[in-house]
Chain A
Amino acid sequence: AQSVTQPDIHITVSEGASLELRCNYSYGATPYLFWYVQSPGQGLQLLLKYFSGDTLVQGIKGFEAEFKRSQSSFNLRKPSVHWSDAAEYFCAVGRANFGNEKLTFGTGTRLTIIP
């Protein structure tokens, strides 16, 4: 069965500092990988996704993520965070070649930005 682990429940970062959110997945075949962001009281918005090809994926709002098959990881990064990045971030894995009805989400990482 597929699973996603986000080891950091809560991260605090100073505005302007760099950010890395960790995501590890367990999956028996080629995964589809996603990062979503949820602002307080809102639904989830897609930041970026990886299906195949270049392992460094660029997303919206200046975020990027790198797929490392050898480490089963898909970590999210941003070089300089802004106060508006404060939100909860979810990593998700789906099944390649079987459609997207089986997305499995991690438990999320809450990001706090301090001035």
Chain B
Amino acid sequence: NAGVTQTPKFRVLKTGQSMTLLCAQDMNHEYMYWYRQDPGMGLRLIHYSVGEGTTAKGEVPDGYNVSRLKKQNFLLGLESAAPSQTSVYFCASSLAGDDTQYFGPGTRLTVL
């Protein structure tokens, strides 16, 4: 049981490049989340999903897109990366009806 895993762990992009971050969970959780963590700002919710095929915007969704084609996977896409998207990205998941979120180890993204 690996819990929540994230791929890749580190990435450096140039401005304007695109990339996809993958989150996978093997706990059969219904809910999945993408957060970004910036110094002095805590974690901010980007997008979330309450089930396969459904997604919703969080607090800071601009510049990001997501997809949940399979229950166990939640993808975060950056179509045209900007330096302001330099951050550490965390994925989390939870069971419906249980407010405990389980976090992945994070992806450190640098946009030059």
**Given the contacts A42-B105, A101-B50, A107-B42, A49 and B90 also touching, CB distance less than 8 Å:** no
Judged by DSSP, the binding face of A is loop
A100 near B105 with CB under 8 A, answer: no
The stretch that binds A, out of B14-22, B61-69, B96-104, is B96-104
Interface centre among B43, B96, B98, B102 (most CB of A within 10 A): B43
Indicate with 1 or 0, residue by residue over A15-47, a CB within 8 angstroms of chain B CB atoms: 000000000000000001010100001111110
A90 near B98 with CB under 8 A, answer: no
Instruction: Return the contact of B104 from the options A43, A100, A101 (Cβ within 8 A).
Output: A43
**Given the contacts A99-B50, A101-B48, A107 and B40 also touching, CB distance less than 8 Å:** yes
**Given the contacts A43-B4, A44-B90, A103 and B103 also touching, CB distance less than 8 Å:** no
Judged by DSSP, the binding face of B is strand
* A102, closest chain B residue (CB): B45
A102 to B101 alpha-carbon distance, docked (Å): 11
Number of A-B contacts (CB under 8 A): 60
Query: In this assembly, does B74 line the interface, its C-beta being within 8 Å of a C-beta of chain A?
Result: no
Instruction: Return the contact of B42 from the options A49, A90, A94, A101 (Cβ within 8 A).
Output: A90
Query: In this assembly, does A63 line the interface, its C-beta being within 8 Å of a C-beta of chain B?
Result: no
B42 near A100 with CB under 8 A, answer: no
Q: Which of B47-71 contact A (CB under 8 A)?
A: 48, 50, 56
B43 near A51 with CB under 8 A, answer: no
A99 near B42 with CB under 8 A, answer: no
**Given the contacts A43-B4, A49-B99, A108 and B50 also touching, CB distance less than 8 Å:** no
Indicate with 1 or 0, residue by residue over A44-59, a CB within 8 angstroms of chain B CB atoms: 1110010100000000
A36 to B92 alpha-carbon distance, docked (Å): 13
Using a CB–CB cutoff of 8 Å, the interface residues on chain A facing chain B are 4, 9, 32, 34, 36, 41-46, 49, 51, 90, 94, 99-103, 105-108
